Amino acid sequence: MAIRSIITAPDHRLREVSKPVETVDDGTRALMDDMLETMYDAPGIGLAAIQIGEPLQIIVMDLAGKDDEPEPRYFINPVILDVVEETAVYEEGCLSVPEYFEEVERPAKCSVEYLDYDGKKQILEADGLLATCIQHEMDHLEGTLFIDYLSRLKRERILKKLKKEQRLAAAE
Ligand code: NI
């Protein structure tokens, strides 16, 4: 396993549309192991493969509390089957938009079909933070970031600040 570097906005690679995984094999699992290690190290609760520069439909997640046993989740080629009309608002953040947190409204529940770590088909009914997190991560597979749900003014302000921070970091 290895910790990979996380791409941050406004890097154009985050806008790429990820491709489905054709076969879930040891290479796929090695990538998921790296993603999980990278996510724990950050630390974060979810990571899509594109965030480490791999345009594949893979997501890893762990919503367990700090003092609880780890509960890693792996989603390969996820598809939303259904969402409810009811919405929920969470303050979202993203490892690719570091240090910024904003409220986003999304469907409160969703059911998602995906392949697990072993390549087996699964269906999950999600609500609460899990539902939000799945939708946030699945957005990454389409090149969408949570800041896209904010007003243009807010989004541009965040991107401008991120760019400036990156310039300063590069100059150090
Ligand atoms: Ni994210």
Please give the positions annotated as active site. Answer: 137
pLDDT tens profile 88-117 = 999 999 999 999 999 999 999 999 999 999
C-alpha closest to that of 141 among 72, 62, 59:
59
The whole-number pLDDT of residue 163 equals 94
**51 CA from centroid of ligand 1 (Å):** 8
Q: What is the largest CA-CA distance in the chain?
A: 48
- What's the predicted TM-score (pTM) here? 0.96
Between the CA of 14 and the centroid of ligand 1 the distance, in Å, is 10
Where does 12-171 sit in CATH, by number?
3.90.45.10
What is the whole-number distance in angstroms between the Cα of residue 25 and the centre of ligand 1? 25
Spacing, Cα 21 to ligand 1 middle (Å): 20
Number of H helices, E strands in the chain: 3, 7
The 10 Å Cβ neighbour count of residue 8 is 17
Residue ranges per domain, the chain?
A: 12-171
What percentage of residues in the chain have a pLDDT greater than 90?
A: 95
**How many angstroms does the Cα of residue 118 sit away from the middle of ligand 1?**
24
User: What is the pLDDT, as a whole number, of residue 171?
Assistant: 87
